[in-house]
Amino acid sequence: MKKVTLSIMLGATMFLAACGGGDSGGSDTSTEQMDPEKLYMGKCSSCHGGNLEGSSAPELAKIGAEKSYEEILDVIQNGQGRMPGGIVEGERAEVIAEWLSEKK
């Protein structure tokens, strides 16, 4: 009896794990997932610094004074120098580019 119960619980756990959670990469545009600062911290800060101060990549604290929204979006999408393109895509890239373009 214990083996049957254990098997059912294990099977149910595996089923639920396979079905749930995680970032599907879909078009979820919830406020939390489209927060530019959270997106930046999750994808960009390891190289550009938590305060946009730069680290192994250039400082971004005043990037909006140097580049337009379109130029920033182009770099995010296609990369530049050692930065590969496509780290952030779609609407998330647009949200980060807009946010960074305001940094002057």
CATH no. of 33-104: 1.10.760.10
Over residues 54-84, the pLDDT tens digits come to 999 999 999 999 999 999 999 999 999 999 9
Structure tokens at 52: 């946009």
Residue 32 has a pLDDT of: 58
Q: Long-range CB contacts (< 8 A, 24+ apart) of 35-43?
A: 36/95, 36/96, 36/98, 36/99, 36/100, 37/99, 39/88, 39/92, 39/95, 39/96, 40/96, 40/99, 40/100, 43/87, 43/88, 43/96
Q: Could you count the other beta carbons within 10 Å of the beta carbon of residue 39?
A: 19
Domain ranges of the chain: 33-104
Residue 30 has a pLDDT of: 57
Residues of the chain whose pLDDT is less than 50? 6, 12, 14-28
Phi, psi of 84 (to 5 degrees): -80, 155
